[in-house]
Amino acid sequence: MLNYALEFTGLLIRWLHLIAGIAWIGSSFYFIWLDRSLEPPEPGSDEAKKGVGGHLWAVHGGGFYNPQKYLVAPAKLPEKLHWFMWEAYTTWLSGTALLALVYWHRAGSMMLDPAISALAPWQAVALGAGSMLGSWLVYDRLCRSPLGKRDALLGVIVFALLTALGWGLAHALAGRAVFIQVGACIGTIMAANVFFVIIPGQRRMVAALRAGRDPDPLDGKRGKQRSVHNNYFTLPVLFTMISNHYASTYGHAHSWAVLALIAAAGVVIRHFFNLRHKGIYAWHYPVLGAVILGGVCWWTAPRLAPLPPVTGDVNFNRVRGIVGQRCVACHSPAPTYLGLAAAPAGVLLHTPADILRNAQRIHLQTVVTRMMPLGNVTQMTDEERAVIAAWIGAGAKTD
């Protein structure tokens, strides 16, 4: 019952994380579009006299809207201001809770692979949590350094450091955990940008204006910079959120490089849309993104690793014995593996019919990608994988 309660809790947290993430990303995309679509008012117009730096007209939902952005602030601030922060906080809190429940709680199987390292589960969790904190500290220090005044160079260095982080984690954690932990690091940077920089800066600006003082322009400039950074982080972090469904990426021998390439494609595609908001159609950016993703598709295509020769007869009973010993602990109506209340992905392998129905999936996960058993917790041997491959090659028959 406890395992089921944990699984249902994970469902609710995942749902909350998705809802909050949509709200946060939606507002981020909207405000970047808004900021880059504003047009300056006519000189001498009422808007210009009021200090409006840009405005636009839009139609949506049966109504017309006229957003305005002031160069500094209106002559008098309204009592009611709308703030955008809880979307970010809720996304990060729910995402971290989900990370702890799904990965950290079962670090032995979800984060570790004996073929990669001999870390203890607590060490894997400490490494994951430490990488999240360290990523923010390094990133924030870079932004506050003289390098922060050179946006393009700063972006390249931050991307290189995140790639190096992925490379380092790939030498300690299983591929699936590497992807999700890099995503958690990026998400931490994004949420911390809101919590430590954007919102405090906005509060200081509002306080200064209400007190009749000129706000510090550095607060506005720094907040804008971090907001733009968050916008470019969005597509890479969204990929890491869905990556656990695609073993061909995180199961690759150079998974850290695969992640870096897909993230780069996301960044250049996002850059195209940000430029388009200004009326600049730089089509070479989405073309470059498509080329990168095409290259990743080719690079990660299944290529069977060498397997030892099979000795003895290859028949269904032999395969069923392997599946029963190595897979059924998780893939049954009542899993006996600690922490599971239901079979992962709903895949059942406890009957002959189930094995036949999922024969190609068994082959893909145990032979092609070798991502199953997860973390090889049941210690499936290469000889057993070779038997499954030979059985599939012979037509996956029961006789």
Which band of pLDDT confidence, cut at 50, 70 and 90, is reported for residue 17?
very high
Q: What is the pLDDT of residue 49?
A: 83
Q: CA-CA distances (angstroms) from residue 332 to 318, 355, 359?
A: 19, 11, 15
Q: How far apart are CA 371 and CA 156, in angstroms?
A: 32
Q: CA-CA distances (angstroms) from residue 193 to 4, 19, 88, 139, 261?
A: 36, 20, 10, 10, 24
pLDDT for 159-183, tens place per residue? 999 999 999 999 999 999 999 999 9
Q: CA-CA distances (angstroms) from residue 368 to 126, 327, 386?
A: 31, 16, 11
pLDDT for 187-210, tens place per residue? 999 999 999 999 999 999 999 988
Residue 80 near residue 212, CB atoms below 8 Å: no
pLDDT for 290-331, tens place per residue? 999 999 999 998 777 788 888 888 888 888 889 888 898 889
Q: What is the pLDDT of residue 141?
A: 97
Query: What SS3 class is residue 119?
Result: coil
**What's the mean pLDDT in 234-259?**
92
Count Cβ neighbours within 10 Å for each residue of 245-277 and write b for 16 or more, e otherwise: eebbbbbbeebbbbbbbbbbbbbbbbbbbbebe
Residue 7 near residue 344, CB atoms below 8 Å: no
Count Cα neighbours of 347 within 13 Å in the Cβ-side half-sphere.
20
What size, in residues, is the chain?
399
Judged against a pLDDT cut of 80, whether residue 45 lies above it is answered with: yes
**What's the mean pLDDT in 237-249?**
90
Higher pLDDT, 178 or 399: 178
Q: Where are the domains of the chain?
A: 2-37+83-299, 316-393
| Percent share of the chain, pLDDT over 70 | 98
Q: How many helices (H) and strands (E) does the chain have?
A: 16, 4
Amino acid letter, residue 385: R
**What's the mean pLDDT in 380-392?**
88
Q: Where are the alpha helices (DSSP H) in 38-120?
A: 46-49, 86-99, 107-110
Interhelix angle 284-299/255-276, rounded to 10 degrees, is: 160
Give the predicted TM-score (pTM) of the model: 0.85
Count Cα neighbours of 216 within 13 Å in the Cβ-side half-sphere.
10
Q: What is the pLDDT of residue 366?
A: 86
Q: What is the pLDDT of residue 72?
A: 77
Tokens of 369: 């990608």
Q: Determine which helix (DSSP H) or strand (DSSP E) holds 68, and give its type and residue range.
A: strand 68-70
List own/partner pairs for 280-286 with CB under 8 A and 24 or more apart.
none
Q: What is the CA radius of gyration of the chain?
A: 26
pLDDT for 263-294, tens place per residue? 999 999 999 999 999 899 999 999 999 999 99
Judged against a pLDDT cut of 70, whether residue 338 lies above it is answered with: no
Judged against a pLDDT cut of 90, whether residue 226 lies above it is answered with: yes
pLDDT for 70-88, tens place per residue? 887 787 888 888 899 999 9
Tokens of 256: 């850290």
Higher pLDDT, 352 or 13: 13
List own/partner pairs for 315-318 with CB under 8 A and 24 or more apart.
315/391, 315/399, 316/352, 316/355, 316/391, 316/397, 316/398, 316/399, 318/387, 318/391
Token look-up 């909050």 returns: 20
